């Protein structure tokens, strides 16, 4: 670093000097030119003003008058002398230094007399620098000689010398100032960040990253990109070390902990030659406009956490709807882009939907039809023929995109996500029978009677049975699905092996409880800086304990019933008033659907009713947060909450329950869980309730508030251990592992191919 500083300082000195000399050189030239022009102008004006007097004196022969004028001129002007020449260029009369005047070159005088025009000439005699101005004289219209005015031009050289002297001083001052500032900048903006980065890496190497942590990345100025990468590397290494340590501890106990790294290795070892393709409605990365900038954001989704390590490991392809406002600006000519943006590992293929298609397929058939159909929340499903057409069209569009991506892949592995693509497995298998296709149904599957409400139940079931593997959260949903297939379609169901056979193709049905990622060591704890007091202070609320609900604004989540249960708690146990506040985070969802807008009004009215009834000047019973909160903000609330209420009326799994457990690395807190969620099958140490039983939920909240610390910790430890051992990485590994082990049959696909080709032809004609 010392040699670097010396080279930098030397380069600065040389650069400043050369730049100053060059600029001064041109400045002196310009200054000389200006002064000489001014002197020529002034001398020419003086000679021209004397010309009539000299001509009159020559005409009358008044030579003494010429000498008197010259003497007077020298007294009041900075002139060296004045001389009169005859027509032959001979000196006639002069006033001034005789030696200097007689040494003047006669050529300029003769030229002036000959051409009859003024002429000027700079010259030097010894140390004398002068300007000679010659003016022609005429008497009676005939040339009579010339008048020569001699001016001192030495001050021009003095001016130039002064400029050079000032430049020297300026160079010295600039060098001292700039070199000094540069040395300080090197110390502050180069040496300090480099030293801190080196210290961070040293501590990381020694395994003590919590000591000597770098300041905020933005404080590193020019080193911000490097600092951020160091932070990323540090976090990755810390996570890897923590995961390895936790896995080692669990291995000693005869257990295995799945991590993102282990999932990556597992996929590389077992995926074989087949590339993995994922299909979902929601994309893992979306580009949106925020103010004047376009940012790439990750939508909140546990699916990204589970699937991304798989695609990173095998350079897979994720096919999803391009829903970001700026998504089209970042794809190539084939609608692809590499992601993640900062470390590309796999391909995202975006599929574009028109507003009409999105409204019919997503808002209409999927969320006004299938969603209430599968969730027993007593909301009437709405099925429209136009929505069904859009649903088929979008499934075909995704099938075309996926088939195009799989063209050069042998035995591809396809993992389809959720109820948006029930028709997709059959469409894919019809064209690529060699593909291994799995679909995971993230929502409940109702009993056959309830599913029979759908006018197109047979088509949906037939599409799903095109898959080799269908996954649900819990065995009940698997059994309901087989019951529905058995009742609706001509097929053979095998209850012992949980399989259904149709058109010569066998589909396996399995329960795969989805989960979340959990930090086994609690290294994320430092990132959560806000306590419950700080969170409540932000909203001007005082309370000793927090009861938390985190949901989308959805009628299946039981938000209104939950609020009513909290109101009953305050009625039956008044000592909780002014001590307990309920915080309900309700992220807006599907706002274009009338039933969701109506739910929002009901929730807001219920909150207003409770607050109006019980609120005091220092205490608000219910805080309703109606916006999309970041993962960090929700994590703060999870850690601050004494009780988390997950009281869905019906849910496939509900990951909020597991997210709450994952966040509680302090092993404290109480989970109140609806028995109608898939999570209730696993998390038996929670307080399981019937969400329709308002009194029962209120009693569970009271029990949780009064539960002793030992009981809370034992329950939390057991539930956290279960989530840790059955995390989202194990879920993904199990699904893909089972899919890989299946024997792929090759049925007679001529009929399916003809159906798909006819559908494609019809779509092209409509386009």
For residues 479 and 602, membership in a common domain is answered with no
pLDDT band, residue 475 (cuts 50/70/90): very high
For residues 108 and 242, membership in a common domain is answered with no
pTM of full prediction above 0.75: no
Alpha helices in 103-186 (DSSP H): 107-115, 154-185
> Hey, what long-range contacts does 702-707 have (CB within 8 A, 24 or more apart)?
702/569, 702/572, 702/573, 702/576, 704/642, 704/643, 704/670, 704/672, 705/545, 705/547, 705/576, 705/580, 705/642, 705/643, 705/670, 707/670
For residues 273 and 417, membership in a common domain is answered with yes
Last residue of a domain, one of 232, 255, 278: 255
State residue 44's pLDDT score.
77
pLDDT tens digit string along 57-106?
A: 777 766 666 666 666 666 545 677 778 887 777 777 767 676 667 777 77
Q: Which residue has the higher pLDDT, 378 or 41?
A: 378
Q: Mean pLDDT check: name the lowest of 30-34, 446-450, 500-504, 603-607.
A: 30-34
For residues 492 and 550, membership in a common domain is answered with no
Q: Mean pLDDT check: name the lowest of 466-480, 529-543, 687-701.
A: 529-543
Burial of 78 (0-12, 13-18, 19+ CB in 10 A): exposed
State residue 26's pLDDT score.
83
For residues 89 and 227, membership in a common domain is answered with no
- Establish if 388 belongs to a structural domain: yes
pLDDT tens digit string along 730-752?
A: 999 999 999 988 887 765 544 54
pLDDT tens digit string along 146-193?
A: 888 877 777 777 888 887 888 788 878 877 888 788 778 777 777 777
- Establish if 359 belongs to a structural domain: no
Q: Mean pLDDT check: name the lowest of 246-255, 288-297, 691-700, 750-759.
A: 750-759
pLDDT band, residue 247 (cuts 50/70/90): low
pLDDT tens digit string along 102-140?
A: 777 777 777 777 777 887 778 777 777 777 788 888 777
Query: Can you give the CATH number for the domain in which 682 is found?
Result: 3.40.50.2000
- Establish if 43 belongs to a structural domain: yes
Rounded mean pLDDT of 380-396? Answer: 97
- Establish if 80 belongs to a structural domain: yes
User: Above 70 in pLDDT, residue 766?
Assistant: no
Q: What is the DSSP string of 266-324?
A: HHHHHSTTPPEEEEESS-S-EEEEETTEEEEE--S-HHHHHHHHHHHHHT-EEEEE--S
- Establish if 198 belongs to a structural domain: no
Does an H or E element contain 123, and which? strand 119-125
State residue 216's pLDDT score.
44
Q: Is the link from the previous residue into 340 a cis peptide, with omega within 30 of 0?
A: yes
Neighbour tally for 141: CB within 10 Å: 6
Sign of CA dihedral 647, 648, 653, 655: negative
- Would you call 610 helix, strand, or coil by DSSP? helix
- Establish if 12 belongs to a structural domain: no
* Residues 6+ positions from 704 with CB-CB distance below 8 Å: 642, 643, 670, 672, 687
For residues 327 and 421, membership in a common domain is answered with yes
For residues 250 and 279, membership in a common domain is answered with no
Torsion of CA 213, 219, 224, 226, to 10 degrees: -30
State residue 706's pLDDT score.
96
pLDDT tens digit string along 514-572?
A: 998 887 655 555 444 577 778 888 888 889 999 999 999 999 999 999 999 999 999 99
Alpha-carbon span 368 to 576, nearest angstrom? 39
Beta bridge partners of 638: none
Report the number of distinct structural domains present in the chain. 4
Q: How many helices (H) and strands (E) does the chain have?
A: 26, 23
- Establish if 358 belongs to a structural domain: no
State residue 98's pLDDT score.
65
* Residues 6+ positions from 652 with CB-CB distance below 8 Å: 441, 442, 443, 444, 472, 473, 477, 677, 678
For residues 610 and 714, membership in a common domain is answered with yes
- Residue closest to 243 by CA, chosen among 683, 729, 656, 718: 729
Query: How do 119-125 and 436-440 pair as beta strands?
Result: unpaired
* Residues 6+ positions from 478 with CB-CB distance below 8 Å: 445, 472, 498, 509, 510, 511
pLDDT tens digit string along 599-646?
A: 999 999 999 999 999 999 989 999 999 988 888 889 999 999 999 999
Alpha-carbon span 766 to 491, nearest angstrom? 34
Query: How do 505-511 and 499-502 pair as beta strands?
Result: antiparallel
Identify the domain containing residue 67 by its residue range: 38-159
pLDDT tens digit string along 184-229?
A: 877 777 777 777 777 766 776 666 655 444 444 445 555 667 666 7
- Establish if 5 belongs to a structural domain: no
Query: Can you give the CATH number for the domain in which 51 is found?
Result: 3.30.450.20
Q: Which residue has the higher pLDDT, 307 or 375?
A: 375
For residues 468 and 543, membership in a common domain is answered with no
* Residues 6+ positions from 575 with CB-CB distance below 8 Å: none
For residues 248 and 143, membership in a common domain is answered with no
For residues 405 and 543, membership in a common domain is answered with no
State residue 149's pLDDT score.
80
For residues 401 and 442, membership in a common domain is answered with yes
């Amino acid at each position: 670093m010392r040699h670097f500083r010396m080279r930098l300082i030397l380069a600065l000195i040389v650069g400043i000097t050369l730049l100053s000399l060059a600029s001064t050189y041109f400045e002196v030239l310009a200054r000389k030119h200006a002064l000489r022009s001014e002197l020529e102008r002034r001398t020419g004006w003086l000679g021209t003003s004397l010309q009539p007097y000299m001509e009159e004196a020559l005409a009358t022969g008044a030579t003494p008058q010429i000498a008197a004028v010259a003497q007077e001129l020298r007294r009041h002007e900075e002139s060296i002398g004045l001389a009169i020449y005859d027509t032959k260029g001979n000196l006639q009369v002069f006033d001034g230094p005789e030696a200097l005047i007689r040494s003047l070159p006669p050529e300029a005088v003769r030229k002036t007399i000959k051409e009859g025009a003024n002429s000027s000439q700079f010259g030097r005699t010894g140390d004398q620098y002068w300007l000679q101005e010659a003016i022609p004289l005429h008497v009676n219209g005939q040339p009579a000689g010339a008048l020569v005015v001699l001016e001192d031009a030495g001050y021009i050289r003095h001016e130039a010398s002064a400029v050079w002297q000032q430049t020297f001083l300026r160079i010295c001052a600039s060098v001292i100032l700039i070199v000094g500032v540069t040395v300080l900048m090197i110390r502050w903006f180069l040496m300090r960040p480099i030293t801190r980065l080196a210290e961070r890496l040293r501590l990381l190497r020694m395994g003590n990253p919590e000591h000597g942590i770098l300041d905020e990345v933005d404080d590193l100025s020019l080193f911000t990109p490097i600092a951020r990468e160091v932070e990323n590397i540090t976090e990755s290494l810390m996570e890897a070390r923590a995961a390895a340590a936790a896995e080692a501890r669990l291995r000693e106990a005869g257990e295995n902990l799945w991590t993102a790294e282990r999932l990556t290795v597992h996929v590389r070892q077992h995926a074989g030659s087949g590339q993995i393709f994922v299909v979902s409605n929601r994309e893992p990365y979306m580009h949106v406009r925020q103010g004047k900038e376009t940012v790439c954001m990750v939508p909140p989704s546990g699916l990204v956490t589970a699937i991304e390590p798989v695609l990173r490991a095998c350079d897979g392809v994720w096919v999803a709807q391009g829903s970001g406002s700026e998504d089209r600006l970042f794809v190539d000519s084939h609608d692809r882009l590499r992601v993640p943006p900062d470390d590309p590992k796999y391909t995202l293929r975006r599929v574009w939907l028109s507003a009409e298609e999105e409204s019919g397929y997503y808002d209409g058939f999927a969320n006004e039809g299938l969603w209430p159909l599968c969730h027993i929340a007593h909301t009437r499903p709405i099925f429209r023929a136009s929505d069904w057409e859009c649903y088929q069209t979008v499934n075909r569009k995704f099938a075309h995109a996926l088939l195009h991506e799989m063209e050069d892949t042998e035995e591809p592995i396809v993992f389809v996500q959720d109820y948006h693509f029930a028709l997709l497995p059959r469409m894919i298998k019809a064209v690529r029978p060699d593909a291994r296709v799995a679909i995971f149904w993230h929502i409940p599957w109702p009993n056959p009677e309830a599913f029979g409400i759908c006018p197109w139940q047979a088509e949906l079931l037939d599409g799903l049975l095109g898959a080799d593997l269908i996954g649900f959260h819990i065995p009940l949903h698997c059994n309901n699905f087989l019951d529905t297939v058995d009742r609706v379609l001509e097929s053979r169901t095998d209850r012992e092996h949980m399989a259904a056979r149709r058109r010569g193709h066998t589909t396996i049905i399995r329960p795969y409880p989805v989960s979340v990622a959990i930090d086994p060591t609690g290294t994320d704890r430092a990132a959560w800086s806000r306590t419950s007091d700080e969170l409540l202070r932000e909203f001007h609320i005082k309370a000793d304990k927090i009861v938390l609900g985190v949901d989308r604004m959805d009628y299946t989540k039981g938000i209104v019933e939950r609020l009513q249960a909290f109101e009953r708690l305050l009625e039956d146990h008044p000592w909780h008033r002014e001590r307990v506040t309920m915080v309900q985070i309700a992220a807006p969802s599907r706002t274009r659907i009338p039933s969701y807008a109506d739910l929002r009004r009901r929730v807001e009215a219920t909150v207003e009713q409770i607050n109006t009834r019980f609120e005091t000047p220092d205490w608000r019973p219910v805080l309703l947060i109606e916006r999309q909160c970041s993962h960090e903000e929700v994590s703060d609330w999870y850690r601050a909450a004494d009780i988390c209420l997950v009281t869905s009326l019906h849910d496939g799994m509900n990951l909020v329950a597991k997210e709450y457990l994952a966040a509680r690395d302090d092993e404290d807190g109480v989970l109140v869980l609806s028995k109608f969620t898939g999570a209730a099958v696993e998390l038996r140490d929670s307080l399981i309730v019937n969400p329709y039983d308002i009194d029962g939920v209120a009693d569970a909240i009271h029990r949780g508030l009064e539960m002793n610390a030992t009981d809370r910790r034992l329950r939390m430890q057991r539930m956290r251990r279960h989530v840790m051992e059955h995390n989202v990485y194990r879920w993904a590994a199990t699904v893909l592992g089972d899919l890989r082990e299946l024997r792929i049959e090759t049925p007679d696909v001529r009929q399916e191919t003809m159906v798909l080709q006819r559908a494609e032809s019809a779509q092209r004609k409509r386009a």
